[in-house]
């Protein structure tokens, strides 16, 4: 049985990045999540899954957090690994390296990038080390993200926020087709030291359906998630985030059937390493 140790591979990568070529580069997030089902872009790949992710600020806002810096350059790393039935499910293991350039175009005075309106372009490289067919693929991605702080609607006090996004990805090797996704998220009322986040998305694509059957461009899938989160500050500018959530995955009938899943995640936010 082949059992690639994704945790070791990604950890070694992070140790290398902890000694950046550029002195200003910094690892600003590391997370580990366990999902009860392995769902990626609405494709349901069966039982439990482990996800590792890390974000590395290379230049611009990620390294300065300055309201005068409209640009941002980041390296994002990730892995997805099936935790059970490795003899058959290890073919779904995949690893991601993404280089993303962002540009703020509105609300740029905010000192949190998430509260800015921005456009981005990214090159995504996926490695599928155990796949029987093509074992790597490259994507080009364009995206737009924003933030609305809703104090009130008319005379009604709201005190909410909405974070919309839209992305388009073009795959050049594995599928040679296009995937697009739109979604939004909002934080609901706090419950003591906890906060609730509700998010949803809808996607369109001409990616293949079950058994790699060809599909025309159309509805790909949708999802809905509700998460309970707790933020735990520690040290200077660092904090840990614990999340427990559940969601619903509703793919096109040509791709699969509707399923539910749960997730537990621990995320460290930094700067963690400089």
Domains in the chain (CATH in brackets) are 6-273 (2.40.160.40)
Half-sphere exposure of 216 (CA within 13 A, CB side): 0
Among 16-20, 68-72, 229-233, name the one with the lowest average pLDDT.
Answer: 16-20
SS3 100: strand
Task: Give the residue ranges of DSSP H helices in the chain.
Answer: 6-17, 61-64, 86-89
Residue 134: pLDDT band by 50, 70, 90 thresholds? confident
Distance CA 177, CA 195 (A): 38
Task: Give the pLDDT confidence score for residue 154 in this predicted structure.
Answer: 66
Query: How does 22-59 read in b/e, with b if 16+ C-beta sit within 10 Å?
Result: eeebbbbbbbebebbbbbebbbbeeebbbbbbbbbbbb
Average pLDDT over all residues of the chain: 87
Task: Give the pLDDT confidence score for residue 35 in this predicted structure.
Answer: 98
Distance CA 115, CA 109 (A): 9
- Tell me if 170 sits within 8 A of 178, measured CB to CB: yes
Element (H, E) at 262: strand 259-273
Task: Give the pLDDT confidence score for residue 7 in this predicted structure.
Answer: 45
Name the E strands within 188-234.
Answer: 194-205, 218-234
Q: Where is pLDDT greater, at 183 or 235?
A: 183
255-273 average pLDDT score: 91
Cβ partners under 8 Å of residue 242, min gap 6:
229, 230, 232, 265, 266
- Tell me if 70 sits within 8 A of 104, measured CB to CB: yes
Residue 210: pLDDT band by 50, 70, 90 thresholds? confident
- What is the bridge-based pairing of β-strands 117-127 and 71-82? unpaired
Q: Where is pLDDT greater, at 204 or 135?
A: 204
90-99 average pLDDT score: 94
- The answer, yes or no, to whether the previous bond of 271 is cis (omega within 30 of 0) is yes
66-75 average pLDDT score: 90
**3-state class percentages of the chain: helix first, strand second, coil last, to nearest 5:** 10, 60, 30
DSSP 2: -
Task: Give the pLDDT confidence score for residue 270 in this predicted structure.
Answer: 79
Q: Where is pLDDT greater, at 160 or 37?
A: 37
> CB atoms < 10 A from the CB of 207, how many?
26
Distance CA 232, CA 266 (A): 11
Closest CA to 205 of 182, 239, 171, 180: 180
Task: Give the pLDDT confidence score for residue 158 in this predicted structure.
Answer: 63
pLDDT digits (tens, 9 = 90+) for 140-163: 999 999 998 877 666 666 667 899
Residue 2: pLDDT band by 50, 70, 90 thresholds? very low
Q: Is the per-residue pLDDT at 75 higher than 50?
A: yes
């Amino acid at each position: 049985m082949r059992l690639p140790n994704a945790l070791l591979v990604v950890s070694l990568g992070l140790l290398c990045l902890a000694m950046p070529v550029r002195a200003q580069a910094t690892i600003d997030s590391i997370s580990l999540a366990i999902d009860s089902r392995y769902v990626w872009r609405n494709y349901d790949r069966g039982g439990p899954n482990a996800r590792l992710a890390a974000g590395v600020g290379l230049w611009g806002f990620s390294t300065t957090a300055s309201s005068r810096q409209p640009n941002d350059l980041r390296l994002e790393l990730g892995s997805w690994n099936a935790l059970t039935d490795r003899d058959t499910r290890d073919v779904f293991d995949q690893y991601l390296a993404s280089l993303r350039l962002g540009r703020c175009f509105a609300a740029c005075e905010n000192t949190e990038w998430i509260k800015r309106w921005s456009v981005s372009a990214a090159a995504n490289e996926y490695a599928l080390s155990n796949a029987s067919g093509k074992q790597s693929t490259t994507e080009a991605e364009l995206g737009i993200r924003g933030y609305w702080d809703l104090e009130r609607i008319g005379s009604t006090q709201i005190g909410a926020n909405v974070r919309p996004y839209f992305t388009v990805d073009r795959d050049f090797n594995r599928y040679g087709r296009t995937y697009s996704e739109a979604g939004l998220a909002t934080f609901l009322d706090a419950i003591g030291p906890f906060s609730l986040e509700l998010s949803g998305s809808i996607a369109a694509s001409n990616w293949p359906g079950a058994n790699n059957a060809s599909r025309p461009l159309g509805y790909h899938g949708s999802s809905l998630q509700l998460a309970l989160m707790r933020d735990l500050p520690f040290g200077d500018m660092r904090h840990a985030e614990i999340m427990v959530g559940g969601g619903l995955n509703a793919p096109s009938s040509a791709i699969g059937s509707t399923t539910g899943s749960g997730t537990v995640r621990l995320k460290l936010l930094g700067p963690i390493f400089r």
